Structure formats: structure tokens, C-alpha cells
Amino acid sequence: MKYCKKCRKDLYDIKFYISKVNKDGLSTYCKKCTSKIALENYEKNKKKAKLRHAEYIKNNPEKQKQYFRNWWQKNKEEKRKANREWHISKKEQ
């Protein structure tokens, strides 16, 4: 059991991320609180995050191409099905 300093609850170790910084090897906040903090920080700095992401894409075009190739291979059938359904719905209108 470990105490989360944010939500102030005793939780099982599995509810915490691994952290090499702390002596016990677990992060200070539980996974739920860590997610909330990350979302709050993203909302505060949304423009900065989007600019950073755009810069990364600009500087790493090959990684981006490879990512989308892999994504397409994994989701090919689902995407084709969704496209067919969309086209059928547009014809009906």
C-alpha cells in the first residue's frame, strides 16, 4: 500500500506508475491523479503543445509516414467499412 499525496488515499502499489526517482520505485501520485494533472497541464498549455507537435511532425517526416503506414495496416478493414458507410449515407441525402 502507498499513499497518494494528491487524492490523499492509501492505494495498492499497482495503482501507481513506476518511477526510478523515488526510493520505493513508484511515483508520488496515483495513475488517476497523474492523468488529471497531465490533462490540466495540457488544457493550460494547449497552444504550446500543438506547436510542439507540429514542430515534431515537421522535423520527423519519415517517422510520421511510418506511423501512418502502420496505422493503416492495422485499421485497413475498419477504415474501408467506415468509408463505405459514409459514401452510402451521402448518396441517400
Q: Are residues 30 and 67 in the same domain?
A: no
Q: Are residues 64 and 86 in the same domain?
A: yes
Mean pLDDT (the chain, rounded)? 95
Q: Are residues 36 and 50 in the same domain?
A: no
Q: Are residues 8 and 40 in the same domain?
A: yes
pLDDT in tens, 2-20: 999 999 999 999 999 999 9
Q: Are residues 10 and 40 in the same domain?
A: yes
- Domain with 17, as residue range(s), is 2-44
**Sign of the CA dihedral running 85, 90, 91, 93:** positive
Q: CB-hemisphere CA count at 13 Å for 80?
A: 6
Q: Are residues 17 and 28 in the same domain?
A: yes
Q: How far apart are CA 63 and CA 60, in angstroms?
A: 6
Q: How many domains does the chain have?
A: 2
Q: Are residues 11 and 31 in the same domain?
A: yes
pTM: 0.64
Q: Are residues 30 and 56 in the same domain?
A: no
Given a cut of 90, whether residue 93 has pLDDT beyond it is no
Helix (H, G, I), strand (E, B) or coil at 84: helix
